């Protein structure tokens, strides 16, 4: 560059094509001519809709296809979750939505031949430990896959009784319904109960505009549930073939999830609280709670999905509101990626 050049001169220089140096050509060659790139290109040619998938989901699908093509038969199937802004003193915000991703991984395994011995997917998330080796998510048999598909569709039908799918409130309500269903089956406090306690606390401490870490954690759990539905949607799209009726329940779920809200519309903390307030005023939450309790709250103990998950997470039975910090986190509530960072 010429340091004394005028602005117009610099613009003219920038418009000219830049010759590629030998070092640059050598650098690019590492990513265009390596054996790994050639292998992935061969596998990728046989993967439908690969370019329409999120990077993390496309990596997952590619690993299934690589294993099917015998290129990497013995390598584990891995999933790398995006980081979340969550309370470090509580269980991972990804934990409660694990059954949704477990369903997605199990459906993804239908890419493999039946004789393949793949029994789990190893799931990784960002942690403050160099020795973290991920956790194993066991794949479900077909009968349980169908049950879980039916459960999600049943929750969606309950939500559609009050709200249309094209409304963001539908997907927030569906996420809360799935959380409620899991809480009935596995125990523990629901997201709705946690937020209601927060509202009660606000009434007691009027004038306090701080956002507790517990509520930031709830927003992260909501983001995790919505993104898990996104993983399920994209996995179904990559695997599901209407001509094959091995999973007839998948047709309705594919149709429903095709209207799933994009990542940029995931609610931040304040938006989530506002939407929950609106759902309370319309009594949609109470009607949903009654329907789900009637459907999933029978006397017989239901199948416990947690038995299928070998978790390396530390158990913390505290409520999300028991997080020590109640100070303002100074989050940018207008930033849709303030909780879920897809690039991390």
Q: Higher confidence at residue 117 or residue 271?
A: 271
The answer to whether residues 86 and 68 touch, using CB atoms and an 8 Å cutoff, is no
Average pLDDT, the chain: 77
Q: Could you report the per-residue pLDDT of 28-37, keeping only the tens digit for each? A: 887 776 665 6
The predicted model gives 136-147 an average pLDDT of 92
Is residue 306's pLDDT more than 50?
Answer: no
What is the pLDDT confidence band of residue 266, given thresholds at 50, 70 and 90?
Answer: very high
What is the pLDDT confidence band of residue 167, given thresholds at 50, 70 and 90?
Answer: confident
Highest-confidence range of 43-52, 113-122, 300-309, by mean pLDDT?
113-122
The token pair that represents 152 in the structure block = 């999600």
The predicted model gives 269-283 an average pLDDT of 88
Is residue 182's pLDDT more than 70?
Answer: yes
Q: For the whole model, what pTM was predicted?
A: 0.74
What is the pLDDT confidence band of residue 172, given thresholds at 50, 70 and 90?
Answer: very high
Q: Could you report the per-residue pLDDT of 199-238, keeping only the tens digit for each? A: 777 655 555 567 778 889 999 999 999 999 999 999 998 8
Is residue 47's pLDDT more than 70?
Answer: no
């Amino acid at each position: 560059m010429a340091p004394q050049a005028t602005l117009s001169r610099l613009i003219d220089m920038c418009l000219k094509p830049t010759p590629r140096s030998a070092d640059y050509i050598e650098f690019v060659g590492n990513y265009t001519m390596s054996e790994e790139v050639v292998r992935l290109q061969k596998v990728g040619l046989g993967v439908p809709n690969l370019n329409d998938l999120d990077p993390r989901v496309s990596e997952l699908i590619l690993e299934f296809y690589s294993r099917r093509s015998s290129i990497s038969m013995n390598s584990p199937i891995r999933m790398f979750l995006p980081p979340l802004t969550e309370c470090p003193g509580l269980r991972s915000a990804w934990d409660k939505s694990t059954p949704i991703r477990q369903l997605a991984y199990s459906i993804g395994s239908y890419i493999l031949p039946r004789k393949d011995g793949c029994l789990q997917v190893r799931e990784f998330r960002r942690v403050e430990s160099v020795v973290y080796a991920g956790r194993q998510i066991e794949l479900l048999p077909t009968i349980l896959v169908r049950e879980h598909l039916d459960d999600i569709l049943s929750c969606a039908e309950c939500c559609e009784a009050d709200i249309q799918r094209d409304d963001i409130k539908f997907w927030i309500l569906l996420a809360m319904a799935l959380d409620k269903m899991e809480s009935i089956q596995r125990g523990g406090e629901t997201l709705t109960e946690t937020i209601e306690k927060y509202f009660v606390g606000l009434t007691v401490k009027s004038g306090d505009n701080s956002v507790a870490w517990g509520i930031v954690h709830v927003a992260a759990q909501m983001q995790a549930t919505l993104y898990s539905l996104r993983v399920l949607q994209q996995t179904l799209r990559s695997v599901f073939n209407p001509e094959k009726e091995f999973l007839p329940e998948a047709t309705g779920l594919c149709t429903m999830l095709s209207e799933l809200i994009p990542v940029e519309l995931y609610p931040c903390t304040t938006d989530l609280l506002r939407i929950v307030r609106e759902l309370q005023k319309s009594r949609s939450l109470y009607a949903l709670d009654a329907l789900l309790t009637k459907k999933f709250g029978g006397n017989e103990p239901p199948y416990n999905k947690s038995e299928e998950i070998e978790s390396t997470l530390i158990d913390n039975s505290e409520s999300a509101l028991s997080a020590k910090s109640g100070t303002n986190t100074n989050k940018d509530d207008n930033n849709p990626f303030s909780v879920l960072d897809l690039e991390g």
